[in-house]
Amino acid sequence: MVRRTGTGGEPDIINTAVDCTAEYLIQIGVLRGNFNLTLRMEQPPPDDDAPLAAAERRLARSLLHRWRAEADAWDMTDPEPLPVRWTPSRCVASAGEHLPAGSGTDTIAGTFLALRPRRRLVVLGTAGSGKTVLSVLLTLELLARRLTQGEDDVPVPLMLSLESWDARRQSLAEWLVDRLRRDHPGLPSVDGVHPARRLVLERRVLPVLDGLDELPEHRRAEVLDALDTGLGGGGDVVLVSRTAEYAHLDRQGKGLRHSTVIESLPLRPGEVAEYLRKARPRSRAAAWAPLLKTLREEPAAPAAWALSSPLMVWLVRRAYEQGPADPGTLADRERFPTRDAVEAHLLDRIVPAAFPPVPAHPGRLHAPRTWDAERAHAWLSYLALLLNRRGESELAWWRLHTAPLPRLLALPALLVTGILLSFAVKAGMSGAAGGSPSSGFLGSTEVAIGVVTAALARTVTTAWFGERLAEPRRSANPLLFVRALRSLDRHARVGPLVRLAVLTGGPVLVVLLLALYAVAGDPLLVSLSVGGVLPVLLMIVYAAPADTVDAATPGELLRGERSALVTTLTLVAPLIGVGTSAFLWLDGGSGGWKAVIGSCAGASAMLVLLSPWSRWLLAKCSLAVAGRVPWSLMAFLRDARAAGLLQVSGGTYRFRNRRLQEHLAGRRAEARGTAGSAPWAVPFPKLSDPRESTVERTADHYRLRGRSRTLPLAHWAVVGVIMGTFVVRMSVSGQWHQPVAWLSLLFWPFLGALITAVGFLKPRRPLELELTRDGVTSVFGRRRRSYAWRHVEEITVRRAIVRGRDARFHALQVRLLADAPRPPRRSRMGEGWYLVLSTGPSPHVDPGLAAALADFAGPRWTPPSGGG
């Protein structure tokens, strides 16, 4: 405050406040003269991270609600968290390298946050030992610390399955960004865009990755390499796997770098007894008493050993929660003499306990949905067996059509549906023309043109996307054209030059054809542009497959496929109809609405009947008629998930535990690769089969000779597409009653069978494998492959990868050093591996051959996991 004398002799009082945060200014005293108040307030710097922090909190709340629901379904925290313990793993050399002192008494989240200098945690354990429980408890505690305790430096854990990551096509960051965008589309935008990229790049999310052991063997090392690359120098991660699979990778030097490895410990019988005492209903205390007494007083009893697993504790709670089930029978050693007997009994009881009979209230109009326990057990057992045969753990509705029964009924269903559709189309066309529906089938030419054009568009799209076209598509929105363009570019199987040529040259070609028509007047140019090139371009754009596991739920993915199908029909089929009609009309023929409707109907039938949605409908209906699944399959899967038997992994379902899947399938999981043979050839016989081969062995030489033949099957993929097109064309156009049409259709399977028979009857080709001190050489037919040991980094038996696809058989393969000469392209197996010789469907190697490989290859030889 400054006081000075004014011009009138009265004092002027001037107050100046700089950077003042006060809301009120009080001046005490007698004031005379002028009073001047100046406030110099500087605006606080803008908080650019406030919108991102809000999106981060929204994500944390969403994940907390989701995983609390999962934990409640699995009884993880009711009445208290399961007493799961852990210790530094003994199977990994650097297990406790970064483990802080006293971590054994801390919570799993406290142990993780105390890791220095990097927070990279690997959680190991056997089947059902509590790995998933530890990861879920870690997720819940980190989210609780972030939201309730205000610890802003705690990252938001994002728990994902590694089965959804194709490390060959997406980096770790891009995969996490895609998952966040699809799983959490409602996050508040930052700078007008979804905050997923900033959340990932600024490392505000913590990937908690489960299911490394469930990946095919050839993908595990690939995923770990991509994970190391994606994490860089300071990225954090939590990795969950079974002990044996990760230890095998670690011994090969492929473990996660700079990580701390812990292993879940069995539950203590006394702690389990106290946990069950608090969890049991008070009214059933007497029924639980014998089992609890056994757990406290007989820690070596079979029941105590069985209940050392969190999975079994959850099973015993669910199976004996309600009467008249008696948990005391588990303590009977005569009835359950071994741990396996107790576990098998609990696994058998879980489905009836998950679907108890619920009588309807007499006053309710609609009874609640109930599922018969016996039928539910049969349905789940079939689905589990189907997954085991494929060596998978994710149940995807769009792959259900690959079951034997839907595949058998595919062509008959196409024919019947096409015939029914032909009656409906012809009835509508005859009604529009004022005729009778039974007056004959009209417009077969227009229908045939529509079918062939749609088949051509689908063929081009299949060449663009490959196998991904058989997967559900994103919810195609015509207004989101740029987003669809990005999707088709990301999932394209063709090279960048082809993509650039099609996406830029396609629209130019349409304009050029129309310009040529204006000059030359040829109606074929209009048909090619409007009804040919333009539908193909739109088909490619709006057939862009979604990242299948990126949908929030399987139901949303199914709705997205239906929406994409409707969009494709709305845009592609009418253009084909208009192009056909324009050609016929400009050529002086009978164009008009009849040609448009006929061609559009044929194109629509082709697009619908060969879509993932129609295949799903065929699979569900055929399996439901056979009693393999319920008619309301999606509702049943949702209820099974609510009962704790299943869990949602993106757009697919998974069983609560892999062991539960194996038990329901009626057998233990078999080694991967026994699900079938390659789609183009039968694998070669085992190299060491004495009936097919001879072995010569000296100190410096090993030679295995035999003869083998292949069964050509590659052409059946093309034959199947042609047959499908003929069936749709013949049925929709009304030619199904003409013998000539049937002869044309039957010609193709006859041709396919003839090619297969000729290939099989060809003389058997020689097969030879030779090992020397200098290298390895293989011969099959006229193809000879030779690799010098000085160029080989590793040799082992792996799954064969042909053109980026799992060939479903194993082969002896080598990985070459960086400076080694590269073999021909046909020897490439992907991921830097090269083919030596196929060994058949099993990864096991004969002991004699394994001993020879260990002798001649030395440390380069790595026995396959589970093999000799």
343-394 pLDDT, tens per residue? 888 888 888 888 876 554 444 434 445 788 888 888 999 998 888 877 777 8
Mean pLDDT over 253-265 rounds to 84
AA identity, residue 756:
T
723-735 pLDDT, tens per residue? 777 777 777 666 7
In this predicted structure, what is the pLDDT of residue 658?
78
In this predicted structure, what is the pLDDT of residue 699?
83
Mean pLDDT over 789-811 rounds to 77
In this predicted structure, what is the pLDDT of residue 670?
37
Confidence of residue 846 (pLDDT cuts 50, 70, 90): confident
459-494 pLDDT, tens per residue? 787 777 766 666 776 555 555 666 666 666 666 767
Q: What is the dihedral of CA 304, 306, 307, 311, to 10 degrees?
A: 180
Q: How far is it, in rounded angstroms, from Cα 214 to Cα 218? A: 11
In this predicted structure, what is the pLDDT of residue 690?
41
Confidence of residue 261 (pLDDT cuts 50, 70, 90): confident
Beta strand 237-242 pairing with 260-265: unpaired
The beta-carbon contacts of 184-189 under 8 Å, at least 24 apart in sequence, are 184/59, 184/62, 186/58, 187/55, 187/58, 187/59, 188/51, 188/54, 188/55, 188/58, 189/51, 189/55
In this predicted structure, what is the pLDDT of residue 478?
56
DSSP conformation letters of 112-155: HHT--S--EEEEEESTTSSHHHHHHHHHHHHHHHHHTS--TTS-
In this predicted structure, what is the pLDDT of residue 685?
39
Confidence of residue 810 (pLDDT cuts 50, 70, 90): confident
Confidence of residue 761 (pLDDT cuts 50, 70, 90): confident
Residues 6+ away with beta carbon under 8 Å from 158: 63, 176, 179, 180, 205, 206, 207, 208
Tokens of 88: 């530094």
Query: Are the CB atoms for 609 and 349 separated by under 8 Å?
Result: no
Beta strand 237-242 pairing with 652-655: unpaired
Tokens of 318: 């669910």
Element containing residue 780 per DSSP (H, E): strand 775-780
178-210 pLDDT, tens per residue? 888 777 767 777 777 778 888 888 888 999 988
Q: Which residues pair with 768 in a beta bridge?
A: 705, 779
* Burial of residue 8, with CB atoms counted within 10 A of its CB: 0-12 exposed, 13-18 middle, 19 or more buried: exposed
In this predicted structure, what is the pLDDT of residue 94?
55
Query: Are the CB atoms for 365 and 653 separated by under 8 Å?
Result: no
Most confident of 16-20, 286-290, 448-452, 605-609: 286-290
Q: How far is it, in rounded angstroms, from Cα 447 to Cα 510? A: 23
- Is residue 16 scored above 70 in pLDDT? no
In this predicted structure, what is the pLDDT of residue 184?
76
Higher pLDDT, 523 or 324: 324
Element containing residue 199 per DSSP (H, E): helix 196-201
Residues 6+ away with beta carbon under 8 Å from 204: 52, 56, 155, 156, 198
293-337 pLDDT, tens per residue? 888 888 888 888 888 888 888 888 888 877 777 888 888 888 888
Radius of gyration of the chain (CA): 34
- Is residue 435 scored above 50 in pLDDT? no
Mean pLDDT over 117-138 rounds to 82
Query: Are the CB atoms for 380 and 351 separated by under 8 Å?
Result: yes
Query: Are the CB atoms for 12 and 5 separated by under 8 Å?
Result: yes
AA identity, residue 247:
A
Peptide bond into 324 cis (omega under 30): yes
Q: How far is it, in rounded angstroms, from Cα 538 to Cα 485? A: 10
Peptide bond into 79 cis (omega under 30): yes
Q: Please, what CATH class does the domain formed by 373-403+628-664 belong to? A: mainly alpha
Q: How far is it, in rounded angstroms, from Cα 540 to Cα 670? A: 39
Instruction: Average the pLDDT over each of 106-110, 377-381, 418-422, 607-611 and give the range with the smallest value.
Output: 418-422
- Is residue 683 scored above 50 in pLDDT? no
Mean pLDDT over 658-687 rounds to 51
CATH code at 52-265: 3.40.50
Instruction: Average the pLDDT over each of 98-102, 211-215, 293-297 and give the range with the smallest value.
Output: 98-102
CB atoms within 10 A of CB 714: 13
- Please choose, from the candidates 458, 451, 445, 377, the residue with its C-alpha nearest in 3D space to the C-alpha of residue 418: 451
Higher pLDDT, 176 or 150: 176
615-659 pLDDT, tens per residue? 888 889 999 988 889 988 988 988 888 788 887 766 788 887 778
Tokens of 630: 């319920």
Distances (CA, A) of 493 to 173, 465, 525: 21, 5, 29
Higher pLDDT, 622 or 29: 622
- Is residue 433 scored above 80 in pLDDT? no
- Is residue 673 scored above 50 in pLDDT? no
Query: Are the CB atoms for 580 and 597 separated by under 8 Å?
Result: no
AA identity, residue 625:
V
Instruction: State the chain's mean pLDDT as an integer.
Output: 75
Instruction: Average the pLDDT over each of 70-74, 425-429, 815-819 and give the range with the smallest value.
Output: 425-429
57-80 pLDDT, tens per residue? 888 888 887 777 777 777 776 777
